[in-house]
Amino acid sequence: MKYTKRKHYKYRLYSHFHYQVDIKTIAFNPNKYIGINTSGQLWIYKGYTWDGASNPAIDTDNFMIASLVHDALYQLIREGVIDKDDKDKCDRILRKICLEQGMSKLRSWWVYQGVKRFGYKAIRSRVITV
């Protein structure tokens, strides 16, 4: 996975990335930068930007892929592609990837607790109607 730091969002993806998740959608619904198909294959395309870890968590090498996938999944919830009831699945996927990337069990548990308890603001739609 290639990425660089950015101005408004912290990171920009420089190669396509995909990851199999245990979340199903009704139909493949790609936008310009992310998509998920009916079998749970998540695609994140070159050019996607994301925030990385949210305070008080810190960005480390073993958190980058997890934060990328988690931010994309939360965006798909906001866009109505993934059901809000799947938030906990998204949060558990974050912890699973952290562990796969070598993060300690204790830190990954704290990361999971943070998004489990405080991630609800991030899944609210940000569409403003006038």
pLDDT for 91-130, tens place per residue? Answer: 999 999 999 999 999 999 999 999 999 998 888 876 544 4
Compute the average pLDDT of residues 84-90: 95
| Residue for token pair 């073993």 | 62
Average pLDDT, the chain: 88
- Phi then psi for residue 9, to 5 deg, are -95, 155
Q: Which amino acid is at 129?
A: T
Tokens of 98: 């952290």
In a domain, 128, yes or no: no
Strand residue runs (E) in the chain: 3-5, 11-13, 17-20, 34-36, 41-44, 49-50
Q: How many CA atoms lie within 13 A of 41 on its CB side?
A: 10
Residue 48 domain-assigned (yes or no):
yes
d(CA 66, CA 52): 9
Confirm if 50 and 67 have CB atoms less than 8 A apart: yes
Backbone phi, then psi, for 59, in 5-degree steps? -75, 125
| pTM (predicted TM-score) | 0.88
In a domain, 127, yes or no: no
Residue 43 domain-assigned?
yes
Q: What is the mean pLDDT of residues 59-64?
A: 93
Q: What is the pLDDT of residue 10?
A: 86
Structural domain includes residue 90 = yes
By percentage, how much of the chain surpasses pLDDT 70?
Answer: 86
Exposure of 97 in the CB half-sphere (CA atoms within 13 A): 23
CA–CA gap between residue 112 and residue 92 (Å, rounded)? 7
Is 130 contained in some domain? Answer: no
pLDDT tier for residue 9 given thresholds of 50, 70 and 90:
confident
Domain assignment of residue 105, yes or no: yes
What tokens does 97 get?
């990837």
Which residues constitute the domain of residue 18? Answer: 3-121
